[in-house]
Amino acid sequence: MKKRFDYDVVVIGSGSAGFAAARTAAGLGARTAVIEAAREIAGLCILRGCMPSKTLLASSNRLHAIRAAGEFGIEGARGSPNLSKIVARKRRLVREFADYREKQIRTGHFDFIRGRPEFLDRHTVSLQRGEKISAKSFIICTGSRIAWHPFEGLDKVDSMDSDAALNRTRLPRTLAVLGCGPVALELGQYFSRLGSQVTLLQRSQHLLSKFDFDLSVCLRESFEREGIRVITGVRLKKFERRKKKMVHFLKGHRRQKLDADEILYALGRVPNTAGLGLKKIGVRLRSAAIMVDQTMRSSVPNIFAAGDVNGQHEVVHIAIQQGELAARNAAGNAREKFDERALTLAVFTEPQIATVGRSERSLKGKKFITAKYPFSDHGKSIVIGETAGFVKIIAEPPRGKILGAQCIGPEASDLIHEMIALIHMGATVFDVLKMPHYHPTLAEIWSCPAEEIAGKISAR
């Protein structure tokens, strides 16, 4: 007789990955439950990530556009930011998003259980009130938390993290931003466009160190044109508070210091696995991340992990894909693998950055053909006054199959979707040239690098 469990699948965490996993498992007929320990329901993306940050960026970008209206013959437009109203709008919209998600969770075809779980064995968790819950499979979707580094004096300067930045209603005159990842860059530009004097301090030699170098160079040039100061190759040493907050750092072998009214701490996040009791049941961790294979299985076969908690990609649409995949494998005892061919990333600065598939950096040592085309030579971009940046296509030499694409420029996060579809379908640059592209549009720019690569292939 098979052992009976309370549930077929228990999902720990109700954020984007967890909700996707629970909905998918329940849809497959599995007896499913979600356990949530956090006070607020909805997850990082809705509460403290994608939605609130992009709401704030919409305000600062609108202000920037108003102040550039003179270029388009619009006189007398200046605009004045009211941070209290900007933050109030953000809170209203986030509350609407969160309320809708909470309703989805509470009315889903799965049980919703409040409590902080800890594994007793591979099939059982206990909650702090003593209740025990058993399941055939578990999917861990507990997300991530801010990674605080023990720099000397950091605790004395009362720096703000990204959560605090999203709710700040007073504009700092000067702001030092620690880190140059997407969160640091987006919030740094937000405060700069509202009126703060912003300095970015970055450990690596270029912004967005995981991206191709030409994207970094272009973004840095755009930031510096806006008056944002960028200092790379920095080693943070210590912090102290005098009349202002002071950052001491090394640039090469030279000691330097920077004072600011406020410090934004944006040095990344770590998977939120503390207190789950994973090590005692044999789940392997890399630092705090749950190590998984392409099926989202951990080292314990009935325990899966999806989203930020597995440390692979801190991106919400990937978290959702992984949650759905883990649920199909857990509920159906399958071994479906995650497809990374069309892996997509975006940064919502202006200019925006978006990438899909392979990069030149990841293909180092392999044969590929690449071509790029600037927005400064593109009709629609010139008309709307958005000429910074370029698009780039990376293809394999024999047939011109598209391996990857990158865009830095206006609406890059939307423009990349043409390339996502083409890569997903295994298309070539010749397919791009067969497709109609309406004129004048931003999207037609993709035909330019495709034509160049097609020419190189045909000439061989």
Each residue's pLDDT tens digit, 62-111: 999 999 999 999 998 788 999 999 999 999 999 999 999 999 999 999 99
For the residues 214-226, what does the mean pLDDT come to?
Answer: 97
Place 3 in a pLDDT band, splitting at 50, 70 and 90: low
Place 1 in a pLDDT band, splitting at 50, 70 and 90: very low
**Distance (Å) of CA 404 to CA 87, 343, 429, 453:** 37, 9, 11, 13
For the residues 51-72, what does the mean pLDDT come to?
Answer: 96
Q: Is 439 a catalytic residue?
A: yes
For the residues 364-393, what does the mean pLDDT come to?
Answer: 97
Q: Give CA–CA dist 174/189, Å, rounded.
A: 13
What are 100-115's pLDDT values in tens digits? Answer: 999 999 999 999 999 9
For the residues 186-214, what does the mean pLDDT come to?
Answer: 96
The pTM is what?
0.95
Cβ neighbours around 156 below 10 Å, total: 12
Supply the pLDDT for residue 130: 86
Catalytic residue among 248, 253, 317, 439: 439
For the residues 171-187, what does the mean pLDDT come to?
Answer: 96
Specify whether the CB–CB gap between 326 and 296 falls below 8 A.
yes
- Token readout for 93 is 């919209």
Residue spans of beta strands (DSSP E) within 159-253? 174-178, 197-201, 229-231, 234-241, 245-251
- Token readout for 352 is 């925006």
Supply the pLDDT for residue 78: 83
Specify whether the CB–CB gap between 199 and 229 falls below 8 A.
yes
